[in-house]
Chain A
Amino acid sequence: NAGVTQTPKFQVLKTGQSMTLQCAQDMNHNSMYWYRQDPGMGLRLIYYSASEGTTDKGEVPNGYNVSRLNKREFSLRLESAAPSQTSVYFCASSETGQGPDTQYFGPGTRLTVL
């Protein structure tokens, strides 16, 4: 049981480049989330997917797109990277509606945009 996996772990981009962050979970969870965390800050929700086939904007969606490819996979795309998108990106999943709705996080992707 790998839990939530993310690739890549580290990435350096130049301004204007594009990339896709991959996330997969093997816990059969319905809901998946993408967060960003800036140094010394809390977690800010970018996009989330309550179930397969649906996606919704979170607090900071500008500059990002997402795809819920299937129940297991939820990808985050930066179409034209900007230095302001330098951050650590966490993917999470949860079985929403049951008990504490515990969020299980991946190890994160550390992205630097030059």
Chain B
Amino acid sequence: GQSLEQPSEVTAVEGAIVQINCTYQTSGFYGLSWYQQHDGGAPTFLSYNALDGLEETGRFSSFLSRSDSYGYLLLQELQMKDSASYFCAVRDQSGTYKYIFGTGTRLKVLA
């Protein structure tokens, strides 16, 4: 089957850098996406890697290595508002349009 595994929880202090990992088992996918979800809210798109390497979007960067079946989201200069859950996701390449979300990582930012 297809699965994307993430650590369940990560804690860091304001101003720090944190990395959220995503390891996957899937036969093929178009790219790796990252979504942020605050408590009580809906997921919102953060970042996307179509190719291997690093993509930078402001304080957030995302990395993909297809050969290692691995990706990560890097959050720099952490702020209290970054406390949220983060999900990696892929669109299946089998000819369907199914999206598969990771297990999710809850980030707690401490003052």
Interface residues on chain A, number (Cβ under 8 Å): 27
In the complex, whether A80 has a CB less than 8 A from a CB of chain B is: no
Interface bits B91-111 vs A (CB < 8 Å: 1, else 0)? 100001111111110100000
B100 CB to nearest A CB, Å: 7
Q: Which residues of B contact A (CB under 8 A)?
A: 30-31, 33, 35, 41-45, 48, 50, 87, 89, 91, 96-104, 106
In the complex, whether A90 has a CB less than 8 A from a CB of chain B is: yes
User: 13 additional contacts, CB 8 Å, given A45-B98, A101-B99?
Assistant: A33-B99, A41-B104, A42-B87, A43-B43, A43-B87, A50-B97, A90-B42, A100-B48, A101-B31, A101-B33, A103-B35, A105-B42, A107-B42
Task: Tell me whether chain B's interface is mostly helix, strand or loop, or mixed.
Answer: strand
Q: Which residues of A contact B89 (CB under 8 A)?
A: 103
In the complex, whether A53 has a CB less than 8 A from a CB of chain B is: no
Given A42-B101, A96-B91, A105 contacting B48 (CB threshold 8 A): no
